[in-house]
Structure 1
Amino acid sequence: MKLLSIDTSNYALGVAILDGDQVIGEYITNIKKNHSVRVMPAIETLMKDCDMKPSDLSKIVVAEGPGSYTGVRIGVTIAKTLAWTLNIPLTGVSSLEVLAASAGRYFEGVISPIFDARRGQIYTGLYQFHEGKLITKNKDQLILSKDWAAELKERSEKVLFIGNDLLLHKETFEGINGTQAVFAEITEHNPRPAELALLGRDKEVEDIHSFVPNYIRLAEAEANWIKANKEKIRK
């Protein structure tokens, strides 16, 4: 089975091709440039370098969020279009789960991937590897970083914090969690698209037409519209 994975859910853009148990190609950048312009050329270049045609693909795996609203939407839209056009299965994987898998495989403790959500908030979850499988300990959520740190302090095990946005909240975790907190190296903060492919290889298939991104919360513009039109909606 040849899988193409796509992750545009945050600043890091990643695509990879997994052929059975072998990663045959992987492309990652972490720059603030328009994913909508760059992702298809990245896919085309990777497939050309790997001597593959779209018809060789057996499955598409996409990072479904949370993350940047625009970024998540771009990745999911392209993944759905490719899967529908090629008539192959589509699978979505949590963007936080991908980040946790990218550096925590040999960590003896729990893993907290971090995406900044502004105003002191983060998108995070809690994961742990058990017998080679990544297990979800706490589901993905939106929470204040200080509240998350306090919640983790109640646990006895070490916590590995990981993510490109970690620096924005590191002081909070250092202050509340102390020696319980372990911070990933800078080379480990980019989510690996190859891990995305591996995670999605055996996950269940989505219905292409009904599959939507997992934003966790409404976009600010949507939330403001609902608030402003609450009375109209009730009527």
Structure 2
Amino acid sequence: MIILGMDTSNDTLGVSLWRDQSVIGEIVTNLKKNHSIRLLPAIADLMEACDLAPQDLDKIAVAQGPGSYTGLRIGVTVAKTMAWDLKIPLVGVSSLALMAQNGRFFDGLVVPVMDARRGNVYAGIYEANGETVIVKQADVHLSFAELLMNLAEKDAQDVLFIGDSIANFKTEIKMALGERAVLAGEALCYPRPAFLGELAHLDTGVPAHTFVPTYLKLAEAESKWLEANQDV
């Protein structure tokens, strides 16, 4: 089985190819550049380097969210278009679950975090078991203070925070969790598309036309419109 994976849910742009339990190619950049003009060339370059054509693909895996609204729409649109055209399944993978894979050898809880602005974050709580991570608490949108309160109430497990925004919360993390808290190094804070095939290969996927991103919250413009029209 050959799976093309793509992630545009944040500043990181990642593309990977997975074949028969192995990652055969991967492209990753962490640049604040427009994914809409870089994703398709990255896919083409990777497939050419791996001597594969679109018709060789059996499945497509895409980071489904949460994350950047614009980024998610770019990745999901490309993934849906390719899956539809090739008539192959499309599998959505949580963007936070993808990030959490970097902590799979940590002995304790793994908490991937994405900045959602105004003191809020997207976060999930996972537990590492040496080879993978399992979900302990589903991905949510909440204030970072609420997240820390939730973690402080749990047992004495150590907690690994992963994400490029965690440095902004270092003081709050240490105050709430003390020595239980571990902040991942910068190289571990970015999602690796290489894990997409592994996470998606046992998932049967869905038809492309039924697939939608997971935003976890409305866009600011949508929220303001609903507030302004709630009594209409």
What TM-score do the two structures reach when normalised by structure 2? Answer: 0.97
> Is residue 206 from structure 1 mapped to residue 209 from structure 2 by the alignment?
no
Contact 1:35-1:71 within 8 A present in 2 as well: yes
Deviation string 1:4-53 (CA, Å, 9 cap, x unpaired) is 00000000000000011111100000110000010000000011111110
Equivalent-residue separation in structure 1 for 2:36 and 2:6 (angstroms) = 12
* SS of structure 1 residue aligned to 2:209: coil
Q: d(CA) in 2 for partners of 1:201 and 1:72?
A: 21
Aligned residue for 1:195, secondary structure, equals helix
- Note if contact 1:112-1:125 (Cα within 8 Å) is conserved in structure 2: yes
Is 1:166 aligned to 2:166, yes or no? Answer: yes
User: Would you say the 8 A contact 1:8–1:75 is kept in 2?
Assistant: yes
Secondary structure at the aligned position of 1:138 is classed as strand
3-state SS of 1:231 partner? coil
Query: What is the Cα deviation at residue 110 of structure 1?
Result: 0.8
Query: Which segment is superposed worse, 151-160 or 92-101?
Result: 151-160
Q: Which residue number corresponds to residue 77 of structure 1?
A: 77
2:184 and 2:91 map into 1 onto residues whose CA distance is 28
Paired position in structure 2 for 1:225: 225
1:89-108 pair list within 5 angstroms:
89-101=89-101, 103-108=102-107
Secondary structure of 1:204's partner? coil
Superposition deviation, residue 204 in structure 1: 3.3
Query: Which 5+ residue runs of structure 1 have no aligned equivalent?
Result: none
Provide the C-alpha distance between the structure 1 equivalents of 2:199 and 2:70, rounded to a whole number of angstroms: 23
CA RMSD for the aligned pairs?
A: 1.1
Residue of structure 2 equivalent to 1:148: 147
Q: Which moved more, 1:91-100 or 1:154-163?
A: 154-163
For 1:184, the equivalent position in structure 2 comes to 184
Alignment-mate amino acid for residue 3 of structure 1? I
Aligned mates of 1:213, 1:167 — CA distance in 2: 27
Q: Which residue of 2 aligns with 1:66?
A: 66
> How many residues get paired?
231
Question: Paired residue for 1:119?
Answer: 118
Conserved in 1, the CA contact under 8 Å of 2:107 and 2:129?
A: no
Counterpart amino acid of 2:220?
Answer: E
DSSP-derived class of the 1:99 partner: helix
Normalised by the length of structure 1, the TM-score is 0.95
Q: Which deviations, in whole Å up to 9, do the C-alpha atoms of 1:184-224 show, x marking residues without a partner?
A: 11111110001122111112312321210000000000111
State the identity %: 47
**Structure 1 residue 131, shift from structure 2 partner:** 6.4
* 8 Å contact from structure 2 (residues 89, 204) kept in 1: no
Q: Is 1:36–2:72 an aligned residue pair? A: no
